[in-house]
Chains A and B, each alone.
Chain A
Amino acid sequence: MELAEPFEMTQPAISRHLKVLEDAGLIARRVDGTRRPCRLQEEGMQPVEEWLVMLRKAMTRNFERLDKVLAALQAGRKRKGAK
């Protein structure tokens, strides 16, 4: 109810939005009498961060190797050019 107050939306519409957030793991709701207090689940955001960290690690390692491959290609070209 309190969450719906600032919005020009019906209570059922607000509930549907909250359900989407809950299913996505971004908020948690509990039962308190007739109230359904919500709280943010910060850990719901974490998998994106974790995934980005993994991607960054893999790409950093790959590109370091690519630097060496490119250096070898350039060295090969120079040798050919010298002949």
Chain B
Amino acid sequence: MSKMTLTTEGDRYVVVTRRFAASPELVYRAHTEPELIKQWMLGPDGWTMPVCISEARPGGRIRYEWTDGTGAGFYLTGEYIELAPFTRTVHVERMHLPDPTPDNRVETRFEPQGTGTLMTMRMTLPDAKTRAAMLATGMEHGMEAGYVRLETMLGAPSAQR
């Protein structure tokens, strides 16, 4: 399925589009209501979001905390700037790795398309230092998932013994 596109716009922005088989209202709610956000915004398998604050009003706080269940984790904080229910949100966010990354302004649009929704997110392309910090964190997580897979593979033949 190639429902998602991810492109750079100049050397400063990243634009992501994705189609969903649900109304703009539902897609918007899934991006702004904590009980829904924590069900899907998790990154690699095995991670959870035990803390999810999303105050969907101008000036409202955002705080997402992720954990892999073995003590590793990081968090993101931010603030909502504009919200137009079920069509558009603008917020700033920063990741704490553990040093805060520069503020990233994210604009998200939800447009009806047929019986579904076309979502378009436009965000700042982080600078080299931020990308390196994010990659280092991502590597840790990716490797964690890799180890689990390896253990599963190694575990399979021994179970047959």
Q: In the docked arrangement, what's the CA distance between A10 and B153, Å?
A: 62
CB–CB A51/B126 < 8 A:
yes
CB–CB B135/A47 < 8 A:
yes
CB–CB A70/B138 < 8 A:
no
A-B complex: 5 closest residue pairs judged by Cβ atoms: A65-B40, A70-B22, A51-B131, A66-B40, A54-B138
A48 sits at the interface (CB 8 A): yes
Count A/B pairs, Cβ under 8 Å: 77
Interface stretch, picked from A11-19, A30-38, A56-64, is: A56-64
CB–CB A70/B30 < 8 A:
yes
Q: Mark B100-128, 1 if CB is under 8 A from A, else 0.
A: 00000000000000000000000001101
CB–CB B20/A52 < 8 A:
no
CB–CB B21/A67 < 8 A:
yes
Q: Of all chain B residues, which has the CB nearest A66? A: B40
Q: Of all chain A residues, which has the CB nearest B41? A: A62
CB–CB A62/B21 < 8 A:
no
Interface stretch, picked from B42-50, B53-61, B74-82, B86-94, is: B42-50
CB–CB A59/B20 < 8 A:
no
Number of contacting residues on B, CB 8 A?
31
B4 sits at the interface (CB 8 A): yes
CB–CB A70/B135 < 8 A:
no
Q: Mark A51-83, 1 if CB is under 8 A from B, else 0.
A: 110111011111101111111011000000000
Known: A51-B135, A62-B43. A70 touches B26 (CB 8 A): yes
**Other-chain contact of B14, A55, A58, A60, A61 (Cβ < 8 Å):** A55
Residues of A close to B29: CB separation below 8 A: 73
**Other-chain contact of B4, A63, A71, A73 (Cβ < 8 Å):** A63
A4 sits at the interface (CB 8 A): no
Residues of A close to B134: CB separation below 8 A: 51, 54
